[in-house]
């Protein structure tokens, strides 16, 4: 089973959406390393 990767897509209000399943965080600009909705690993650059 391949590991799923996704990324957080901010909408016009600053809420992050999972690019895989569309999960939306309750707080603006709040992101996690793994999507709570589908479990995809978020690739982050910092």
Binding region for Zn ion (CB under 5 A): 18, 20-21, 23, 35, 37-38, 40
Nearer to Zn ion, 24 or 29 (CB): 24
Q: Read off the DSSP letter of residue 24.
A: B
The distance of closest approach from Cβ of residue 5 to Zn ion in the complex, given in angstroms and rounded to an integer, is: 11
Nearer to Zn ion, 31 or 38 (CB): 38
The distance of closest approach from Cβ of residue 20 to Zn ion in the complex, given in angstroms and rounded to an integer, is: 4
Handedness of CA 7, 32, 36, 44 (dihedral sign): positive
- Distance, CA of 46 to CA of 23 (rounded, Å): 22
């Amino acid at each position: 089973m391949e590991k799923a990767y996704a990324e957080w897509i901010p909408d016009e209000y600053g809420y992050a959406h999972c690019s895989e399943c569309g999960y939306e965080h309750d707080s603006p600009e709040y992101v996690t390393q793994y999507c709570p909705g589908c479990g995809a690993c978020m690739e982050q650059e910092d």
